[in-house]
Amino acid sequence: MKVIQSRNLTKFYGKTAALNDLTFEIEENTITGLIGRNGAGKTTLLKIMAGHIQPTQGELLVYSQKPFNNLERSASTILIDDSMTYPDSFRLVDILSEVAPFYGNWNGSLANGLLKYFSFNPNQPHSNLSKGSKSTFNSIIGIASRCPLTLFDEPTTGMDSAIRKDFYKALLKDYLEYPRTIILSSHLLNELEEILEEILLIKQGSKFLHLPVMELKELAVGIRGNAKTLQPFVEGKELIYKEEFAKDNLYVVLRKELLQQEVEVIKQKGLEVFPISTDDLCVHLTASNRGGIDNVFKKD
């Protein structure tokens, strides 16, 4: 079943396009990583999914309905981000008590268990929490709500490494017990990829690719070595990334399918062939300059 259906989705802020002709679909009961650089349009897309804002052109449907001003969709969708605010007088226990009636699948015992695990004082005001603690508490709400559509926008902002790992474990364990559609926007793909099933990569508001994580891992390969030796193997091929990392040495990234049967020959020539991490690949794919920062320092 299609939970999200986006057709030619476009969103303008003034004359600036945050989203541009974005078309994709997301299946039910999957964990999808929404990946892209700052300003790519990730937050805008999540806000449209949550019904917080309307598109300028095109449409996005959630369970075949437009989410904006839709009470039925609002009751089954939650967006967790760092803009969540609560009355200054509310303690953490008060917040959990107040949000519970809004979500039909709310699991209070899970929320309290996570609150205790992460060493929160339930009588502490939310306004007194550090940035990382606010992110952790908000994420507890996101997990415990068990909404059919759960959206996380950079949920681990400010969390330390240990807390982030525990958050991912808690999210995955509850997802396996209670499947739903989860979309995570994050810059930390290297941490997320073990729990993700699909990647939606957007660049400057447009879809760049949308595919299973396992396919992304096999998409590209890196080659490094003497530039003259390497050049014949990449001549005429579209490079994802190219960098001169030492004198007369070259590093390139290209789609694995373009090499066909050449890999063994390349290795015999003394060139190094190695897999590319999903995180590095997404960085290379969304770069505006294929030569990276080194191009700034090139002499004319």
Q: Are residues 67 and 114 in the same domain?
A: yes
164 and 226 inside one domain: no
Q: pLDDT-derived band of residue 295, with 50, 70 and 90 as boundaries?
A: low
The amino acid sitting at 238 is E
Predicted confidence at residue 127, as pLDDT, reads 87
Task: Supply the pLDDT for residue 41.
Answer: 93
pTM: 0.91
- CA angle at residue 80 from 55 to 72, to 5 degrees? 60
Residues 205 and 255 in one domain: no
- The predicted-structure confidence for 144-197, as pLDDT tens digits, reads as follows 999 999 999 999 989 999 999 999 999 999 999 999 999 999 877 888 888 999
Asked if pLDDT for residue 289 goes beyond 70, the answer is no
68 and 120 part of one domain? yes
Are 277 and 161 in a shared domain? no
The pair of three-digit structure tokens given for residue 6, joined into one six-digit string: 């986006």
Range of the domain at 261: 219-297
Please give the pLDDT value at position 225: 94
Are 240 and 201 found together in one domain? no
* 259 and 205 co-located in one domain: no
Same domain, 120 and 143: yes
- The CATH number covering residue 247 comes to 3.30.70
Q: Count up the domains in the chain and report the number.
A: 2
pLDDT over threshold 80, residue 8: yes
- At 57 the three-state DSSP class reads strand
Q: Are residues 139 and 271 in the same domain?
A: no
Helices (H), the chain: 42-49, 71-74, 92-99, 108-117, 131-145, 161-177, 189-192, 213-217, 227-234, 263-268, 278-285
Q: 160, 186, 216 — which closes off a domain? A: 216
- Exposure string of 276-298, with b = 16+ CB inside 10 Å and e = fewer, is bebbbbbbbbbeeeeeeeeeeee
Residue 255 near residue 240, CB atoms below 8 Å: yes
Among 134, 96, 102, 142, smallest CA distance to 118 is for 134
How many residues are listed for the chain in this entry? 300
CB 208 within 8 A of CB 285: yes
Residues 191 and 284 in one domain: no
**Last residue of some domain: 216, 245, 274?**
216
Boundary of a domain, candidates 199, 216, 233: 216
> Same structural domain for residues 121 and 136?
yes
Where does the pLDDT of residue 39 fall: very low under 50, low under 70, confident under 90, or very high at 90 and above?
confident
- Mark whether 57 and 193 lie in a shared domain: yes
CATH number of the domain residue 149 falls in: 3.40.50.300
Q: What is the average pLDDT across 34-44?
A: 92
